Structure 1
Amino acid sequence: MPVPPEYYHATEQFNQFMVDARDASNLETTNMAWNMVVGVFQAFRRRLTIGDALCFANFLPPGIRAVFVADWDANEKRVAFGSDEELLKEIKSVRQQHNFSPSNARSAVAIALRRNVDVQALERLLRDISDQAFEFWKVSEQELRNAETNRSLKIQLKDF
């Protein structure tokens, strides 16, 4: 069997996801979006059983999957889904001094995810996990329409 195409194109697909997260959050760079993405994935992961988290991870494209499972403490106590304010506080707690997560961090990452996966399959999976899991990743049609797109990937290079 040949190597699946999603592995050949993992870097390109991951870069597109990060650009989508940057754009949906209206941040300037993908570096600024990084801690937001990590925070959202960690906040979601803490609310799942290990089995549900692995089902979600297996659904994700390889690069995004790597972020979702990175630094995972499988013995960490599972927590309940809380209010939007509690979730945002948790998202912003990831590397606080370098975390630029805006108030729409969760929906920004949800928009980026939806732009890079089969949305119907994502929604089926989330509904199978729980109503709260589905709500965590829910995005309104207006949010999807309003999210900025088509900005180029900014790569900052140093002259040596």
Structure 2
Amino acid sequence: MPIPMDLQHATEDFERFLADARDTASLGTRNQAYTMVDGVLRVSRRRLSLEDAIRFAGVLPPVLRAIFVADWDPAEPRRTFTDRAALTAEVQDLRRHHNFAPASAIADVAAALRRNMEAEKLDRILAILPEGAAGFWAV
């Protein structure tokens, strides 16, 4: 069996996504964009059960899937989806002194994600995730 195309081109696809997220958020560097994306993924993950997080990760492109599960403590208490301002503050708290995520970070990452994957796959999984997940990933 040949290597799946999404795995063969994982690095190029991730670089394209990261550039899109950087430009959407008006950030200056890939590193700033990476920290923003990592923060958004972590904040989302903290609100999902283990089972739902695995389902969600399964639709992400390979490198984003890896970032989503990296440094994960499944025993961490699950949080609830709250208002966008509180969620954004949590995104901005990751690597606080090196984080340039704007107030629009969640929507910026969601928009870049939708442009760089099959949005229908994302919408199908969001429809079965807990209340608040679809709103979190709304553009």
Q: Give the shorter-chain TM-score range.
A: over 0.9
2:129 paired residue number: 129
Letter of the 1:64 partner, please give it.
Answer: L
Please, what TM-score do these two structures have when normalized by structure 2? 0.97
Q: Distance in 2 between matches of 1:21 and 1:131?
A: 25
Alignment of 1:1-160 (within 5 A): 1-139=1-139
Letter of the 1:79 partner, please give it.
Answer: R
Q: Distance in 1 between matches of 2:99 and 2:35?
A: 6
Letter of the 1:89 partner, please give it.
Answer: A
What displacement does 1:127 show? 1.0
2:39–2:91 Cα contact (<8 Å) kept: yes
> What stretches of structure 1 of length at least 5 have no aligned partner?
140-160
Letter of the 1:40 partner, please give it.
Answer: V
Letter of the 2:60 partner, please give it.
Answer: L
- Count residues with an aligned counterpart: 139
1:152 paired residue number: none
Letter of the 1:119 partner, please give it.
Answer: A
What is the RMSD of the two structures over their aligned residues, measured on CA atoms? Answer: 0.8
Q: Distance in 2 between matches of 1:58 and 1:96?
A: 29
> What stretches of structure 2 of length at least 5 have no aligned partner?
none
Q: Distance in 2 between matches of 1:35 and 1:3?
A: 29
2:48–2:130 Cα contact (<8 Å) kept: no
* Secondary structure class of the residue paired with 1:129: coil
Could you list the structure 1 runs, at least 4 aligned residues long, displaced by more than 3 angstroms after superposition.
none
